[in-house]
Amino acid sequence: MPTYEYECEKCHHLFEQVQKITDEPVKVCPICGGKIKRLISGGGGFLFKGNGFYITDHRSESYKKRKKEETGSITKDEKKPESRLGKEPAEKK
């Protein structure tokens, strides 16, 4: 369930409330009973669990180019199927 942040407009009390998305927003300050507003928060972000998330999964084009220059080899992403130019398919009789 998401955590929402609220601030009282009267006493400026800040608090968090864990609620379902479908729940009605809190409308009354638990300290003074004044009107409150829901704040926009940054959220929790991403949490990657398990194995399989590596920095090498998605390399930038500049990295691939630099690596090619250093090693003189072609990376697997740069390999292209051979051209069929000049190779006509054999005619069937």
In-domain check, residue 24: yes
Q: Which domain holds residue 27?
A: 3-39
What is the per-residue pLDDT for 77?
53
In-domain check, residue 33: yes
Supply the DSSP symbol for 92: P
> Residues 80, 86, 92, CA angle at the centre, nearest 5°?
110
Alpha-carbon distance of 79 to 38, in angstroms, equals 53
Residue with tokens 């729940």: 23
In-domain check, residue 84: no
What is the per-residue pLDDT for 2?
83
In-domain check, residue 32: yes
Is 26 within 8 Å of 3 (Cβ atoms)?
Answer: no
Residue 10 predicted with pLDDT over 90: yes
Number of H helices and number of E strands within the chain?
Answer: 1, 3
In-domain check, residue 74: no
In-domain check, residue 29: yes
| Structural domains of the chain, count | 1
In-domain check, residue 9: yes
Alpha-carbon distance of 58 to 25, in angstroms, equals 41
Share of the chain above pLDDT 90, in %: 32
In-domain check, residue 62: no
